[in-house]
Amino acid sequence: MKNVLEFVNHLQQNNNKAWFDAHRAEYEQARDRFRDFAQGLIDGIARFDPSVSGIAARESIFRIYRDTRFSHNKEPYKPWMGCFICPGGKNSGYAGYYFHVEAHDGRYIGGHMLAAGVYMPLGKELESIRTEILDDPQAFLAAQRQAEGFTMEGNEKLKKVPKGFPENFEYAELLKYKDYSLCRMMDDDFILAPDLLERTLERFRQCADYVRLLNRAIDYAKKEM
């Protein structure tokens, strides 16, 4: 992962088309390395979460090119690389596993990160997740605890219990989340370790029950729709 980290660090300092074009070969090497790593993650995760079996790396990796049309930030490239591995690919709406390498002093997440869950689910899927928690809060809490070292700190929340859910529910705070992602920040030593793939898979394995619980709720909502 060294060349990936080096490339995004250089891109952070030179985020313009002229520099990118002049260093396209470096980008392609870093992109290919990241794609190979993403495929290794998919194959490894599929051993404990078969729902991602058959997903191709290209279906999980985010483009490096930014859409600047509606943004005040006109930098053309993302100084980070990320992949989201879930059933049906990154745009399916299902929960999954996210791996993120970011440049030093980056302004996106602020560092390297592992995450598991679903980011800002919409409508019926969000309602179904909350109903799943309401029906069996202990299962949700147990899945969270199993994901040792991951937290929901910083996730967006409502100020009040959402409409249609009981305000006197013992775990009402869990129903206020709009983002059901567990996150864990990583340092350069983790990213550059020779056994990065094995370390990452072991941490994602701890999140498998959490992801399965969310996807059960999401799948139910999709079938109802």
Q: CA 131, 132, 138, 144: dihedral to nearest 10 degrees?
A: -110
Could you give the count of Cα atoms lying within 13 Å of 205 in the half-sphere of its Cβ? 10
**pLDDT for residue 12 is more than 90:** yes
225 pLDDT more than 80: no
Residue written as tokens 């399916």?
92
- What percentage of residues in the chain have a pLDDT greater than 90? 91
pLDDT for res 55? 95
Distance of CA 55 to the CA centre of its chain: 16
Q: Within 13 Å of residue 65, how many CA atoms lie on the same side as its CB?
A: 5
Residues 20, 18: Cα–Cα separation, whole Å: 6
CA distance linking residue 74 with residue 54, whole number of Å? 36
Confidence of residue 72 (pLDDT cuts 50, 70, 90): confident
Q: Computed over its alpha carbons, how large is the radius of gyration of the chain?
A: 18
Q: Model-level pTM?
A: 0.96
